[in-house]
Structure 1
Amino acid sequence: METKFITITQNDQHELDIKKSRFIANGFRIKTEQEATKFIAEIKSLHHKANHHCFAYMLGVDDHIQRASDDGEPSGTAGVPILEVLQKNHVHNTLVVVTRYFGGIKLGAGGLIRAYSNATSQLLEQTGLVNRVEQTLLHLTITYAQLDQLTHWLKTHAYQIQDTKYTDQVVVAVAVTTHDVDSFQEALKNLFRGQIAFQPQGTQYNEIPFKNDD
C-alpha cells in the first residue's frame, strides 16, 4: 500500500519561452474533480486569448482518478506528458494546467512533448513537494540530567522539539511519524536504559518537505 501522500507545497506558476511560444504552467492542490474543473475554467478565463489550455490531474491516495487533455494540440503531445510528470513524481491531489500562446513556429510532436513535460517538471521543482504524514505527538518525561543527551539525540536524528515544560522533571514534546513510534521509543529506552516515560497525546497530519530521489 502507498505509504506516502506527496503533493505540491502550494499553488504556483512557472513560465517557459520556447521558439517564441509561451508555456505557462499553473499548479493547484485539489481535493475533487469539481475543484479541478473550477481552476481550469479560471485559467481559461484569465488567458482567454491563448491557443491551448492543456492539463492533467491525479486524485486520491491510490490516484484512482487520472485525467489528461491535449486541448487541440496533436494527440498525446500535451496532456499525457503533463500526466507522466505527475506520475513520475508520485504526486496526489494535484492539477497542472499548461497554457500555450503560439509564437508562430511549429515545434513538432517531439518538441511539444518536451515543452509540456519540462514546463510541468520545472513547476514542481520550483514549487517543491511535501509528504503528508500521520504523526503522533509524544510527551517524553526525563530528568534534568538527561536533557542535553536527549536534545542531542533528537537533533542528530532530525526530530524537532515542539515544546518543553520544566517542573520537577522535564517533559519534551516531539511529533513522530506514527508507524515509527515503536522503533523511536525502543531506541530511547535503550539510550536511557529504560529511564524515560512516554505519553501519546494523539495524532495529526503534518506536511514535511519531500525530495524525490527517483
Structure 2
Amino acid sequence: MQYETIRESADAELEISRSRFLTRLERVESEEAAREVIARVRDEHPKARHHCTAFVLGPDQRTQRSSDDGEPSGTAGAPMLAALVSAGLSDVVAVVTRYFGGVLLGAGGLTRAYRAAVAEAVAEARRVTRAPRTTVLVRAPYDVAATLEAEARRRGYGVGDAAYGEAVEQQFLVAAEDIPPLTALAAELSAGAAGVTVGDTDYVDL
C-alpha cells in the first residue's frame, strides 16, 4: 500500500484573540524521532505556555499519539491529530507552540484553533507519495545495458546505482507486479544472457 507524507518540514503561524499559535510540521519515521522533534521545539520556545503535539506513523496510520500539554483535556492534541489523519498524512509530527495572549478561548475555541493551526502547516507542506519498491539487480552485457535502462525508464521503473565490471550490474526499484515484466525484458534484450537477482523491499519516495 502507498501513503503520503511531507517532503520537508513546514511552519505556520496563526494569531487568534491575541494568542499566537506556532506550528512545526516535520517528517519522522519513529516515535523516538517524533519525541526528539518535540523536545527540540520546546527548547526553541522555553517561555511558551504550551507545546501541544500529535504524530502519526506507518503506512496505515496505525501509530497515533497526541498530547494536550496542559490545555483542557481533548482541546489540543486530539484536534491536531484529527487534522493530520484527515489530511491523509503519516510519518509526520506536529507541534503547536502557544503563546497565551490573555484572552480565554474556551474549549470550542481552543479545539478550532489547534486544528486550524495544524491545517495551516499542512497546507504549506510539500507532499510526497511513498510506496513499497523491490530492489532488482540485473547483470547484463554492455551492449544491452543502455537499452535496458532506457526502456525501464520509459516504463516508469526506478533506476538505481550501476557497477561496471565484466558486465553492467544495474539496480532497479520496482513494484512487486513489475518484477516479472522487468525479468522478461532483460531476458528478451540479452537473448537470455542477463542475470536477475531480486533483493529487499522497502518504502521509497516516488
User: What pairs up with 1:47-58 in 2 under 5 angstroms?
Assistant: 47-58=45-56
Q: 1:80 aligns with which of 78, 81, 87?
A: 78
Task: Give the secondary structure class of the aligned counterpart of 1:77.
Answer: coil
**CA distance in 1: counterparts of 2:159 and 2:36, whole angstroms:** 40
Contact 1:144 1:170 in 2 (8 A): no
Aligned to 1:21: 19
Task: Give the secondary structure class of the aligned counterpart of 2:47.
Answer: coil
Task: Give the secondary structure class of the aligned counterpart of 1:153.
Answer: helix
Aligned to 1:212: none
Unpaired runs of at least 5, structure 1: 210-214
Unpaired runs of at least 5, structure 2: none
Aligned to 2:30: 31
Quote the offset at 1:139 in angstroms.
0.9
**CA distance in 1: counterparts of 2:179 and 2:87, whole angstroms:** 27
**CA distance in 2: counterparts of 1:119 and 1:198, whole angstroms:** 53
Quote the offset at 1:52 in angstroms.
2.0
Deviates more, 1:159-168 or 1:13-22: 159-168
Quote the offset at 1:47 in angstroms.
1.7
Give, as a single letter, the amino acid of the residue that structure 2 aligns with 1:22.
R
What's the TM-score, normalizing by structure 2?
0.70
**CA distance in 2: counterparts of 1:13 and 1:145, whole angstroms:** 44
Quote the offset at 1:163 in angstroms.
4.2
Deviates more, 1:163-172 or 1:63-72: 163-172
CA offset digits 1:52-79 (Å, max 9, x no partner): 2111123455555422223344443321
Contact 2:75 2:111 in 1 (8 A): yes
Task: Give the secondary structure class of the aligned counterpart of 1:84.
Answer: helix
Q: 1:174 aligns with which of 147, 169, 172?
A: 172
Aligned to 2:98: 100
Is 1:205 matched with 2:196?
A: no
**CA distance in 2: counterparts of 1:116 and 1:195, whole angstroms:** 62
Give, as a single letter, the amino acid of the residue that structure 2 aligns with 1:177.
A
Quote the offset at 1:48 in angstroms.
2.5
Distance 1:162 1:35, change over 3 A: closer
What's the TM-score, normalizing by structure 1?
0.68
Aligned to 1:135: 134
User: What pairs up with 1:105-184 in 2 under 5 angstroms?
Assistant: 112-124=110-122, 125-126=124-125, 128-131=127-130, 133-139=132-138, 141=140, 144=143, 147-148=146-147, 150-164=148-162, 172-184=170-182
Aligned-residue identity in percent: 32
